[in-house]
Amino acid sequence: MPLSVADFWNTCRREHPHLAEAVPSAWAFGATPAHADGLLSLVLSGIKTGTASSLWDYEHADEPLPQAGEFSIILDGAGEPRAVIETTAIEIVPFDRVDAAHAHAEGEGDRTLAHWCEVHERYWRAHSENPRGYAADMPVVCERFRLVWVPAD
């Protein structure tokens, strides 16, 4: 039976009792269930250690930016909690200034900057939560993270 987000966090805390009692935010990568599952798979395999978001989307949704040291519960495409990550670094840079190291950390495709640019431009044109969508100089929140916990099956 799937665990609730709170139960998932409490199970994690039994193995990592130093973690705060408050349940962190829970979210899925991507815009579709299939995309969420594919990106989660990269996280679980240790390939994906970075992600990128539109600063404009955060502003439009009036949501706080992620901060280094924060934990997140990562959901799969069905909305089930599957992993805990910790944000290790945040940098906001224009889209056209995202570097190859960040593209590689995101772990998608051939991990090149060219692939990253193509995929992310297409993503923000199709799925932005803000009316500005995509621009070559749009501010991008480049987040690095580490995998903290995955439940034993």
* 15-45 residue pLDDT tens: 999 999 999 999 999 999 999 999 999 999 9
The boundaries of the domain holding residue 108 are: 5-149
Give the span between the Cα atoms of 28 and 40, in whole angstroms: 8
Helix, coil or strand: residue 56: helix
Which residues lie below 8 Å from residue 101, measured CB to CB, with a gap of 6+? none
Cα(50)–Cα(27) distance, integer angstroms: 15
Q: How far apart are CA 89 and CA 110, in angstroms?
A: 23
Question: The CATH number of the domain where 50 resides is what?
Answer: 3.10.400.10
Q: What is the pLDDT along the chain (153 residues), one digit of tens a residue?
A: 567 999 999 999 999 999 999 999 999 999 999 999 999 999 999 999 999 999 999 999 999 999 999 999 999 999 999 999 999 999 999 999 999 999 999 999 999 999 999 999 999 999 999 999 999 999 999 999 999 999 987
Q: Based on the structure, what is the number of domains in the chain?
A: 1
Say what the pTM is.
Answer: 0.94
The per-residue pLDDT of the chain, averaged, comes to 96
> Do 79 and 71 meet the contact criterion of CB atoms below 8 Å apart?
no
Q: Are 27 and 113 in contact (CB under 8 A)?
A: no
Residue with tokens 């439940």: 151
